[in-house]
Amino acid sequence: MTEQRVALITGSSSGIGAAIAERLSAEGFRIVVNSARSAEQGTDFARSLPDAVYVQADISDEDEARRLVDAAVERYGRLDVLVNSAGTTKVVPHADIAAVTPELWRTILGVNVIGTWQVSAAAAPYLAKGAANGSGPGNIVNISSVAGSRPVGSSIPYAVSKAALDHMTRLLAAALGPDIRVNSVAPALTETPWTQDSPFFQQIAEKVRQSTPLRRVGTSAEVAEAVLAVLRIEHMTGAVIPVDGGARLI
């Protein structure tokens, strides 16, 4: 009997990360749920899955990022998939340059870029073991954004962080192959608990419905399906897969 694969999904107590955790769990993965805060919510969510554990850790802290990976391997004895879903932002109109402080840059890049790097670097030795043992390459899937390739997004630092994440994807894919595949999934505006409560979301959602080819906002479940597709397509690495309803075309 083949041992169950293990997936660590950062930022997975709610929203897109939780949808990915549910989808991979349904495929038989054992799941490591993570968040920097909302520990009670994350613990309850992990309990709702057949075989999952919750680990609270702030990935922007190098020691905590390493502890998160170590806790996953200690619990399950292996790590096959890392989904970097944790991210942060602040809504700042792009023209409001004065509102974008150095501290905001540090906060957003600290999670979205440096945090993703820290978890990926800590996970890489474990992800590579599957290839060494003959069970195929490990996988890193980064959750990016259409803002990484277009002049859109909740703020300029956020968009820049996603552009950096896409290029990190390509660089790591070249550096870590053939033992680890690295890809990104890049959604456009997606329904989550945060976006549904956000006036910014409501304003942009109306524009999406009027101007994009598919005329609607995406769902977290659709992003999760894209992640699963990336994991299934074994001859893919260094790709940035849009799940954007055609938003990149306008």
Give phi and psi for 51, each to the nearest 5: -150, 90
Residue numbers annotated as active site? 158
Work out whether the CA dihedral 21, 22, 24, 28 comes out positive or negative.
positive
Chain centroid offset of residue 97 CA: 27
CB atoms within 10 A of CB 209: 14
User: Strand, helix or coil at 72?
Assistant: helix
CB atoms within 10 A of CB 206: 11
**Token pair of 24, please?**
């991979």
**Token pair of 250, please?**
């306008």
Q: What angle do CA 36, 31, 139 make, to 5 degrees?
A: 95
